[in-house]
Amino acid sequence: MTNETNEKRIERLIEEFAVHIEVFGLPKLAGRLFAALLFGEPPEKSTQDLIRMTGGSKGAISQMLRLLGHAGPIEKCASQHTRGHCYRLRRHFVVQMLEQKMSALKGFHDFFASNQEDFAHLSEQARENIQEMIEFQVFFERIILEAFDIWKEQRSRRAASGGFSPVQ
């Protein structure tokens, strides 16, 4: 396969991925940046690389890099090939981001638990909504924590066997 053919394939993947990222409320350019770092080689990219790969302006790229850096998947790194710094995806960022979100959800649970007495004075509809939120959060936390345990066990087994399993 020629380098040009591979570049076209990566461009297509970047665009398709960007459309899917929009579902999460992120701008399409954030999806393009994420995808450029995910699919492109080498995994570290300079701002100029990202401008070339995504078509974004320097200002827009900078803003989206800050957004994605704050959200968790992207980090700055030293560049071995250019002056300045580059960007790359953090290792294991998906699991880390979900663990952070679960921690934030626990904050809701703690809030509801510590304010039970005050909720007694609210309308019946408000109390029902609060009760449903509490019940779902407890259910969701149990299922997700179970999923994290299963995932970590499978990842350890894969690492021990040296195998990588493609998307199924």
Domain that includes residue 10, residue range: 3-89
Question: Of 110, 112, 117, whose CA–CA distance to 130 is shortest?
Answer: 112
If asked whether residues 70 and 103 sit together in one domain, one would say no
Residue 42 has phi, psi (to 5 degrees) of -70, 165
Q: Output the domain CATH number for residue 39.
A: 1.10.10.10
Residue 18 lies in a domain: yes
Residue 167 lies in a domain: no
**pTM strictly above 0.85:** no
Task: State the average pLDDT for the chain.
Answer: 87
| 108-139 confidence digits (pLDDT tens) | 888 988 998 999 999 999 999 999 988 998 89
Question: d(Cα 63, Cα 81) in Å, to the nearest integer?
Answer: 24
User: Does residue 161 have a pLDDT over 80?
Assistant: yes
Identify the H or E element spanning 103.
Answer: helix 93-114
Cβ contacts of residue 23 below 8 Å, gap of 6+? none
| DSSP, residue by residue, 39-90 | HSSSS-B-HHHHHHHH---HHHHHHHHHHHHHHSSEEEEE-SSSSSEEEEEP
Residue 128 has phi, psi (to 5 degrees) of -65, -45
Q: Which of 64, 89, 114 is the last residue of a domain?
A: 89
If asked whether residues 84 and 11 sit together in one domain, one would say yes
The total of structural domains in the chain comes to 2
If asked whether residues 68 and 14 sit together in one domain, one would say yes
If asked whether residues 74 and 99 sit together in one domain, one would say no
Question: d(Cα 106, Cα 100) in Å, to the nearest integer?
Answer: 10
Q: Please give the single-letter amino acid code of residue 108.
A: F
